[in-house]
Structure 1
Amino acid sequence: MTETRLEAGSPAPDFTLLDQDGAAVSLADLRGRKLVIFFYPEAMTPGCTTEACDFRDSLASLQGAGYEVIGISRDEPAKLKRFAERDALTYPLLSDPDTAVHRAYGVWGEKMNYGKVIEGVIRSTFVVDERGDIALAKYNVKATGHVARIRKDLGLD
């Protein structure tokens, strides 16, 4: 069963997770900044690599517009570190192995995978404003072309 989905205007659920270097990153510590937070199923898989590299390639323009990028998956920090090094990802990748943050954001639930219903990560992206509220919530996005759509939604293209 899919958790409750967040909508624009609702507070972003707080979290503290370890990044690819084992450092704790808290949403509360990022208050006052605009964030793009994307949830992806698994590091180093083809679709997730495409999405992560698209964010990497758009990072300068997103940062130029005042946005920071954070990726969240169930992967352990050691795997996230290998992913970041392999693909030159220079933004934080956070580890949520127990899916507590995934559930808080409504991105863990039933989805179709090769014609079968399974429970797993629903690829999703959120824009969080400086107050810590959801400005944009996109659920069940496609890896390819997704970053371009987010950039358009943010008025960056």
Structure 2
Amino acid sequence: MTNNRIQPGDPFPAFSLPDGAGQTHNLSDYAGRYVVLYAYPKDDTPGCTREACDFRDSARLREMGVQILGISQDDAASHQRFSEKFSLPFPLLTDDGEFLASIGAYGEKNSYGKVTQGVKRSTFIIDPQGKLLKSWLAVKVDGHAEAVADAIAADMETSA
């Protein structure tokens, strides 16, 4: 599966979205830093919890100064509970699906033969210049945070 909307090297679409605490986050707030924006289906579900905790626990991402941002359609109260329950040190953004669709992270999903519409587990690395470095549009949780760290580390080496 490829992302026909945004290709590596393209400017990542600007966003202005609220987090669980009601604070608004803009892509421009993170200019000059690597940003990992990961889209996930639902707060406090097994796969989404593992993914959030893997990003939370990644010492490599912390050491590299990477800003992690989660995004789903859950409301602010749900994000706040999820974040507090698992001590997530990064914002969880809420979206009505419009921004998620614009980046290829919302649409038709097939789960065990059942076709539904919803958030597709996806990850986007945005480089310090605000361009897409790499995307995953069908994330398998196990080992994913490490793969993200590897991609950023490789880019840092070639950019040095």
Q: Does 1:49 align with 2:49?
A: yes
CA distance in 2, matches of 1:142, 1:5: 21
Over the aligned positions, Cα root-mean-square deviation in angstroms equals: 1.7
Q: Does 1:6 align with 2:10?
A: no
Write out aligned runs for 1:1-157 (5 A).
4-58=4-58, 60-96=59-95, 98-155=96-153
Structure 1 runs not aligned, ≥5 long: none
- Deviations, residues 64-96 of structure 1 (Å, cap 9, x unaligned): 113111100101111100000000101111111
CA distance in 1, matches of 2:67, 2:29: 13
- Deviations, residues 5-43 of structure 1 (Å, cap 9, x unaligned): 322111111111111111111112222221011000011
Identical aligned pairs, as a percentage?
Answer: 43
Residue 51 of structure 1, CA deviation:
0.2
1:110–1:120: 8 Å Cα contact kept in structure 2? yes
Residue 142 of structure 1, CA deviation:
1.3
State the number of aligned residues.
153
CA distance in 1, matches of 2:116, 2:38: 20
CA distance in 1, matches of 2:145, 2:39: 13
